[in-house]
């Protein structure tokens, strides 16, 4: 036993936790971390490859064997964001003399093309943003309200209704695309933003009601009852007490809804053609003059990925809590 009076003068060992000292435990935790890193890297290879391809020139993109080291180029982005026309050899000679060309024009010129204007892609990306954003807001908004009602009120035929809602999710979208296409054409919703928002909201709602009901069921009723006795109406109690408690669930539902409507392909391909066309069906159609423009497709995919990454990143804290829900100690 160390003398208490001498204690401060003695060497202080900071780490005394057994799991940090024991070699066996240390090796195990290092191995686990290493495995996690390796798995993450394997998962990221396709994404990384896509990002690389986006910055490759056309020959580099299709080179065999694949090139890992290459000179980066914005050719893919230029092909994605502009529409171009092929120049004749004479025109190329004239263009090469010009000094007023922007950097994008110069990149196009390498392939003997001249930019004639912006492509449809930025607008399609914007359509995607509008349609999936609005439909996510609706499906989460209505989802919270109906999940709360199902969780708290004696809704007549509750179980049947909930099953009916769930069964909406079991339906493969492809089965209904043709009928919906015909109906949409009749009522003038074909190729409109409203039509797509309606459709995605309807499809996501079943999922968001179920997911959110689980989260709201977890919130003890006593919270809002206490608030109601304390002088608040049910709606005020819902807004001030239930909603803050349900943020985790709302964040998780938002991300899932957003990813679904953001990625949705079959409906978008059938029900939109021009005005409301979203990004997913247009990316594979970025075909240049002859051959598939892999760099442009990769650039489109990269641009398409970024909004979802941003949203997920912003909500990551809530999502992490969502994963551990059930383990949170209640008030």
Partner 1 sequence: MSDVRLENISKRFGDTLALEGISLHIHDDEFFVLLGPTGAGKTTTLRVIAGLEKQDDGHVYLDDRLMDGAQPADRDVAFVFQQYSLYPNMSVYDNLAFPLRSPLRRLPEGEIRQRVTGAAEKLRITHLLERKTARLSGGEMQRVSIGRAIVRQPRIFLMDEPLSNLDAKLRESLRVELKHLQKTQGSTTLFVTHDQIEALTMADRIAVLDQGKIIQNGTPFDIYDRPATTFVAQMVGTPRINLIAAEWQDGAYRTPGAALSFARQNGAAAEKVLVGVRPEDVRPGAGDFRGEVMLVEPLGVETILHIRTGEITLLCVVSGLSSIQLGEVLSFGFAVERLHFFDMNGRRL
Q: Choose among 83, 130, 77: nearest CA to 272.
A: 130
**Of positions 30, 106, 233, 273, contacts partner 1 by CB under 8 A:** 233
What are the residues whose beta carbons fall under 8 Å from the beta carbon of 45, sequence distance 6 or more?
none
Which of the stretches 27-35, 121-129, 228-236, 311-319 binds partner 1 when contact is defined by CB under 8 A? Answer: 228-236
**Of positions 94, 96, 166, 225, contacts partner 1 by CB under 8 A:** 225
CB 302 within 8 A of CB 51: yes
- Regarding 222 and contact with partner 1 (CB under 8 A), the answer is yes
Distances (CA, A) of 279 to 114, 186, 211, 219: 24, 25, 27, 38
In this structure, what is the dihedral angle of CA atoms 180, 267, 141, 192, given to the nearest 10 degrees?
-70
- Regarding 95 and contact with partner 1 (CB under 8 A), the answer is no
For the window 171-210, what string marks contact with partner 1 as x by the rule CB under 8 A?
----------------------------------------
Report 237-256 residues binding partner 1 (CB under 8 A).
241, 244-245
CB 139 within 8 A of CB 205: yes
Number of residues that bind partner 1 (CB under 8 A): 19
- Regarding 232 and contact with partner 1 (CB under 8 A), the answer is yes
- Regarding 155 and contact with partner 1 (CB under 8 A), the answer is no
Cis check: omega of the bond before 279, within 30 degrees of 0: no
Residue 274 and residue 252: Cα distance in Å, rounded? 32
* Closest to partner 1 by CB, 241 or 283: 241
**Of positions 220, 265, 274, 289, contacts partner 1 by CB under 8 A:** 220
**Of positions 8, 45, 230, 326, contacts partner 1 by CB under 8 A:** 230
* Closest to partner 1 by CB, 66 or 220: 220
- Regarding 330 and contact with partner 1 (CB under 8 A), the answer is yes
Which of the stretches 105-113, 132-140, 209-217, 227-235 binds partner 1 when contact is defined by CB under 8 A? Answer: 227-235
Extended beta strands in the chain, E state: 82-86, 113-118
- Regarding 229 and contact with partner 1 (CB under 8 A), the answer is yes
**Of positions 227, 255, 268, 279, contacts partner 1 by CB under 8 A:** 227
Paired residues of 118 in beta bridges? 82
- Regarding 17 and contact with partner 1 (CB under 8 A), the answer is no
Which phi-psi region, left, alpha or beta, contains residue 26 (left: φ > 0; alpha: ψ -120 to 50)?
alpha
**Of positions 102, 179, 326, 331, contacts partner 1 by CB under 8 A:** 331
The secondary structure of 14-28, three-state, reads CCCCHHHHCHHHHHH
Residue 228 and residue 242: Cα distance in Å, rounded? 12
Interacting residues toward partner 1 by CB under 8 A: 220, 222-223, 225-233, 236, 241, 244-245, 329-331
């Amino acid at each position: 036993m160390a003398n208490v009076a001498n204690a401060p003068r003695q060497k202080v060992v900071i780490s005394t936790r057994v799991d940090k000292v024991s070699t066996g435990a240390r090796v195990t935790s290092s191995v686990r971390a290493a495995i996690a890193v390796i798995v993450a890297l394997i998962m990221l290879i396709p994404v990384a490859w896509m990002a690389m391809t986006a910055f490759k020139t056309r020959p580099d993109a299709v080179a065999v064997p694949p090139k890992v080291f290459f000179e980066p180029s914005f050719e893919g982005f230029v092909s994605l964001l502009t529409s171009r026309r092929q120049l004749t050899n004479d025109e190329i000679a004239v263009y090469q003399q010009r000094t007023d060309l922007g950097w994008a024009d110069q990149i196009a010129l390498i392939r003997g093309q001249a930019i004639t204007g912006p492509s449809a892609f930025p607008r399609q990306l914007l359509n995607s943003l509008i349609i999936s954003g609005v439909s996510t807001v609706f499906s989460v908004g209505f989802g919270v309200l109906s999940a709360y009602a199902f969780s708290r009120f004696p809704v007549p035929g509750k179980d049947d209704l909930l099953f009916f809602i769930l069964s909406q999710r079991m339906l493969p979208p492809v089965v209904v695309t043709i009928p919906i296409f015909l109906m949409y054409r009749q009522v003038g919703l074909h190729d409109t933003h409203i039509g797509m928002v309606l459709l995605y909201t309807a499809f996501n709602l079943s999922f968001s009601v179920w997911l959110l009901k689980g989260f709201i069921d977890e919130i003890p009723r006593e919270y809002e009852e206490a608030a109601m006795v304390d002088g608040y109406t049910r709606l005020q109690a819902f807004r001030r007490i239930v909603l803050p408690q349900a943020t985790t669930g709302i964040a998780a539902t938002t991300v899932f809804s957003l990813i679904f409507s953001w990625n949705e392909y079959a409906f978008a391909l059938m029900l939109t053609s021009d005005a409301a066309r979203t990004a997913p069906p247009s990316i594979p159609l970025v075909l240049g003059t002859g051959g598939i423009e892999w760099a442009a497709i990769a650039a489109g995919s990269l641009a398409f990925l970024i909004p979802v990454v941003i949203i997920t990143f912003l909500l990551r804290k809530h999502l992490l809590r969502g994963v551990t829900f059930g383990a949170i100690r209640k008030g």
